[in-house]
Amino acid sequence: MQTTAAVTYEQDRAFHLEQIILDDPRPNEILVRMVAAGLCHTDLSVQAGNVPFAMPGVLGHEGAGVVEAVGDAVTTVAPGDAVLLSFTSCGRCRSCRTGRPALCELWLPMNLLDGARADGSATLHRLDGDELHGHFFGQSSFASHALADERSAVRVAQEDLLAVLAPLGCGVQTGAGTVFNVLRPTPGASIAVVGAGAVGLSAVMAAALTPATTIIAVDRIPWRLDLARELGATDTIDVNEVSLGEALRQITAGRGVDLALDATGDTGVIATTAAALAVGGTLALVGAPPFGATIPTDVNGMLPGRSVVGVTEGDADPHVLVPVLARLYHQGRFPVDRLVRTYDFADIQSAAQDLHSGHTIKPVLLFDPDQSART
């Protein structure tokens, strides 16, 4: 079928809206009419050429919509179901079989690098028949319709809230999942969240639901720090005004932070945060620097139980965590709507500019312009 998509080209990294052709669903795939799609820094990194995804292609990996058709082997969703789209996984490796699909052995080629199905076939074509790279995170949801893997789809109840819930599939899941699944604050713990974007503020909201008693938000944009306090941070650090390492030690009375999450991907910031860990402390890395980036490590400083761990997608199973986050939102305990600003799909370039500049925390694209009045 034909659909409208935002296509990115090698020679011009802007988003171009044009008609493309979607392949028919294969047995394990679903056709989704998109209602909304979150715009993530990962999309911008790929668009800028900092992440190796072949062009021309269609990005988008926080899709939300309604299933229109399913392959004959699909059992978890049906036409008419409202779904949120997340990353895909093979379902067969040891990580997938033990409930940790974010550590799938084929995660990179299936979600980020190949731009095609596992067998190398394209899901998208231009009208002239040339192949487009797609299957981004198993979905390529910057299009009016998306062909998604069944494993990418999480069924939810309320279609009218898809514009709010769309970011749960990646950025929100990453921040909250890292707190819940990896850092797991114990009673009285201190936790520093470095970078108060969508991922970091999701981590702050998650930390506020744990027994942690010191929740420190770090950023360089004052209004984001104000929002972090409203969402549960007990302390904030504006790195334009104070040294990050010194401020962390001061807030913790010189002990250092028990837990930390870096959402910046800045290697200097990561090194400073790691040096400010308390004995036995853990730093989780979720922000992605350019490929090949390294940080210096004081090995002796790590010996007293300090650790630095990399985390993909909050080490979450979307089919477990995403419905929980949706329920927490409906209960008023996880106000993800505070992060969202909506844009018409036709304004995707403006949304990308606002995300890059820091003007918007989480842009969400709406595929029905009339819906903007309802969200």
pTM surpassing 0.85?
A: yes
pLDDT of 370: 61
Q: 161-186, pLDDT tens digit by residue? A: 999 999 999 999 999 999 999 999 99
Burial level of 74, CB count in 10 A (0-12/13-18/19+)?
Answer: buried
> What residue has token string 């392949």?
23
Rounded to whole angstroms, the Cα distance separating 78 from 87 reads: 19
Domain boundaries, the chain: 2-156+335-374, 175-312
Q: Which fold has domain 175-312?
A: Rossmann fold (3.40.50)
Q: Which of these, 257, 296, 294, lies nearest to 278 by C-alpha position?
A: 257
Q: Cα 302–308–310 angle (5° rounding)?
A: 160
Query: Phi-psi region for residue 135, left (φ > 0), alpha (ψ -120 to 50) or beta?
Result: left
Query: Under CATH, to which class is 2-156+335-374 assigned?
Result: alpha beta
Rounded to whole angstroms, the Cα distance separating 149 from 335 reads: 28
Q: 289-334, pLDDT tens digit by residue? A: 877 889 988 899 999 999 999 999 999 999 999 999 999 999 999 9
